[in-house]
Chains A and B, each alone.
Chain A
Amino acid sequence: MTDAFLSALFLQAGYNATLVSIGAALLGLATGSVGAFLTLRRRALASDAMAHATLPGIGLAFLAMAAHGGDGRNLAGLLLGAGLTAALGLFLLQRLTTRTRLPEDAAIGAVLSTFYGAGIVLLTVIQNLSLGRPAGLEGFLLGSTAGMLLSDAMLIAGGGAVILLILALLRRPLAMTAFDPDHARQMGVNTRATDTALLLLTLACVLLGLRVVGLILIVALLITPALTARLWSDRIGIVALLAGGIGAVAGHLGASLSLALPDLPTGPSIVLLVFAAFLASLLLAPGNGLFSRRRRTAPDPA
């Protein structure tokens, strides 16, 4: 097992495995970076609602594709279905928060649990349909690299690259909108469009992460690298880059572990690795760690 892990780690385990690892690394890079802006904009939990809302879409897409005689497990098709219900969940979330008196956290909980419940029901129905072979859709809950196709890995890697490019293009409006939206508007930034772009980037991260990390834990890959990076830097650019780096390393390590231990769900491995980084940073980061002290607020001069 150690041999398998090490060879996967150093990209020696064959073409497929290498691409899976690289795909997971790029996914972690994109998700960590997007997550930095998402947490600073205080929209982190909306991503959790989105992620849980993908499940019914996965089931519906599977049924639709299988019904037409195609391969129900075609990743692109499943992600399309996932994206549609996630967008629906997001839309409902916006309506609930703007049109009713429901507080945002309650609305998130309502959307998240309802969609997820519907998705589990669908999955159970699919399982009982005895379509000749297992659907393998449960892999989208906690992530799995088992049976991942080359095309899947390339889709994830390519998607991650596109996300990073768009993020780089929008980094200034994203930072300004997160810091001081009123001022950003004064400076000519379209804050509504910027917020929409952030949500779409997050949705893209959620969709790309479905295969490798799973919908239950993708939120951790969005949030934790950013929190960890924050402990090391006071500059948003560095925080975003560090968060991406942490995500990338965790993605690669987690995927390598998963290739060596195929029964281990990938999502939890990656998330535990990120959490380990967070814990270490909490203890050790200079200026922010528990073992160092820095006065955060200066008194007013006399």
Chain B
Amino acid sequence: MSPAPVPLPETALSLTGVTVAYGGAPVVEGLTARFPAGSMTAVIGPNGAGKSTLLKAALDLIPRQSGEVRAFGQPLPQMRARIAYVPQRAAVDWDFPARVIDVVRMGLYRQTGLLGRLTPGLKSRAADCLARLGMQDFADRQIGALSGGQQQRVFLARALAQGADLMILDEPFAGVDAATEAAIIGVLHALRAEGRTVIAVHHDLSTVPAYFDRVLLMNRSLVAEGPTATTFRRPLVAEAYGSQLLTAIPA
């Protein structure tokens, strides 16, 4: 990855009136939000709030009923190369004959294309991405021989190898061990320091202020969006969750 931040237009991702409905009740309703470049945003809401759905619809992984999505000022399909998506738990066959380093190298497909050679430069880039997640010693292991947290780190390394400017993650910290969580947040903060943008569906309210500088609160529709300090407050979060239990959050 290049050390110098890439100059970017102001908004990494902009959603306007996004509605997603599975043949009936809307799961996401008229959501409008702007994710500034260089920010790290937590998408927060109760179960069934449509958080994962919102991200998948934004990336055209599932169909939108209405709404517009732009990335870096352009329609999404044109910017796909600059966006990396890390799903919650990749539904892959863990017995697949692939080593850890092979999975990471799949993130380099845009660089090599169909027949391009995997240059030594690209190979070391993949190795570096793996090392950034602390997984360099596992490069030659078959992916099924890893724990859940280690597998998650490999998929993040794959996303890193893309060199994307916008990283979108679905619950990256769900069910991972402490070492993995530390490794992941370290990498995400480093990306932000490089001027890249991070958006993550996040479930652990207690870590929001430490990890994220912006939040998007939603429960099917938008509740609030903005910097953590002003937006992640008890009344707004309670509104999103519909309860008042949130003693960890300053009022």
Contacts and interface: CB of A to CB of B under 8 A. Distances in A.
Contacts of A302: 177
Given A183-B106, A187-B107, A299-B147, A172 B114 contact: yes
16 contacts: A40-B93, A182-B61, A183-B106, A185-B61, A186-B84, A186-B85, A188-B80, A188-B110, A230-B97, A235-B98, A298-B147, A298-B150, A300-B148, A300-B177, A301-B147, A301-B179
Contact of A297 (B90, B112, B144, B149): B144
B68 interface: no
A125 B148 CA distance: 60
Interface centre among B96, B110, B147 (most CB of A within 10 A): B96
Interface residues of A, number: 34
Contacts of B1: none
Interface residues of B, number: 36
A10 to B, nearest CB: 34
B213 interface: no
Contacts of B102: 235-236
Contact of B147 (A183, A184, A236, A297): A297
B114 A180 contact: no
A179 B96 contact: yes
A173 B96 CA distance: 15
A48 B121 CA distance: 43
B149 A300 contact: yes
B249 interface: no
A169 interface: yes
| Chain B interface mostly | mixed
B205 interface: no
A221 interface: no
Contacts of A99: none
Interface in A169-200: 169-170, 172-173, 175-176, 178-180, 182-189
A105 interface: no
A239 B97 contact: yes
Contacts of A187: 106-107, 109-110, 162
A201 to B, nearest CB: 16
Interface in A230-270: 230, 233-236, 238-239
Contacts of A40: 93, 96-97
Contacts of A298: 145-147, 150
Contacts of B93: 40, 42, 179
Contacts of B59: 186
A236 B98 contact: yes
B115 interface: yes
Contacts of A295: 145
B115 A234 contact: no
Contacts of B80: 186, 188
Interface string B148-190: 1110000000100010000000000000010100000000000
Contact of A234 (B61, B87, B99): B99
Interface in B56-84: 59, 61, 80-81, 83-84
B228 interface: no
Given A187-B110, A298-B150, 19 more contacts: A169-B114, A172-B114, A176-B109, A178-B96, A179-B98, A182-B61, A184-B106, A186-B80, A186-B83, A186-B84, A187-B107, A188-B81, A236-B96, A238-B97, A297-B147, A298-B146, A298-B147, A300-B147, A300-B149
